Structure 1
Amino acid sequence: MSGKTGSSSNSVIQAQKLVDQLRVEAGMERIKVSLTAGDLVRYCQEHRRSDPLVSGITASSNPFKDKKTCVLL
């Protein structure tokens, strides 16, 4: 009998934690997605020239370029 009360009190505690978490999340101040997306697009456009994923890496400044060529005999 004590096993049933232990599991039911455990589920009540879990439910209370969930309710508390949902209350915290509901009380958070949200930023509109349209504002955030606009900021992200603007940032990407302003920094695209220095972004190596967009503009690439020059061969002279690439630290991963092979120093020697491999020759097979």
Structure 2
Amino acid sequence: MSGKMCSSSNSVIQAQKLVDQLQVEAGMERFKISLTAADLVQYCKDHRRGDPLLTGIAASSNPFKDKKSCALL
């Protein structure tokens, strides 16, 4: 019976932790999606020149580029 008491005690503690976490999340200030999306678009536009995914990486500074090709004899 001691095992059942310990098990139910653990589940009560877990449920209380979950309730506490949900209360914290519910109390958080939320941003409007439209404002956040507009800010993200503006940030991307402002930083597009320095973004290597958009502009590419110069071959001279690319550490992953093969240095030499392999020749089989």
> If the TM-score is normalised by the length of the shorter chain, which range does it land in?
0.7 to 0.9
> TM-score of the superposition, structure 1-length normalised?
0.77
Q: What are the residue-to-residue correspondences of 1:1-73 with 2, within 5 Å?
A: 1-68=1-68, 70-73=70-73
SS at match of 1:34: helix
What SS class does the counterpart of residue 28 from structure 1 fall into? coil
TM-score, reference length from structure 2: 0.77
Distance in 1, Cα, partners of 2:55 & 2:6: 61
Q: 2-side partners of 1:53 and 1:3: how far apart?
A: 56
How many residues are treated as equivalent by the alignment?
73
Distance 2:17 2:3 in 1: 21
Measured in 1, the distance between the counterparts of 2:5 and 2:65 equals: 66
Name stretches of at least 5 consecutive residues in structure 1 with no aligned partner.
Answer: none
How much identity, in percent, do the aligned residues show? Answer: 79
Root-mean-square deviation (CA, aligned residues, Å) is 1.8
Distance across 1 between alignment mates of 2:51 and 2:8: 55
